[in-house]
Amino acid sequence: AQVIKRANEVLLHLEKTHGSEEGAKTKSLEPDDDLQLSFFQLDDPALEAIREELLAVDINTLTPVEALMKLNEIRKMVGG
């Protein structure tokens, strides 16, 4: 539901800015923080736990088997 709500907000914003003649003109691309979506900005405890897991992993020291085991742990956290 949150994703759909956010998608509708982004769509409305894009329709407003690109629907008019002024919006249709070619403009220089500037970063727009309002349109930047982030996996880690969602208010979900499960996503926060996954974020913490990912930040705690030192990928330079993982063996391939350890990496697969960690991926499986994260997958279980998602419920898959």
Spatial separation of the C-alpha atoms in residues 8 and 32, rounded to whole Å: 17
Look-up of token digits 């982030």: 38
SS3 per residue for 44-58? CHHHHHHHHHHHHCC
Instruction: Answer yes or no: are the C-beta atoms of 46 and 77 closer than 8 Å.
Output: yes
Residue count (the chain) = 80
What's the pTM? 0.44
Full pLDDT tens readout for the chain, 80 residues: 899 999 999 898 888 887 655 544 445 455 555 566 665 556 777 778 888 888 999 999 999 999 999 999 988 888 86
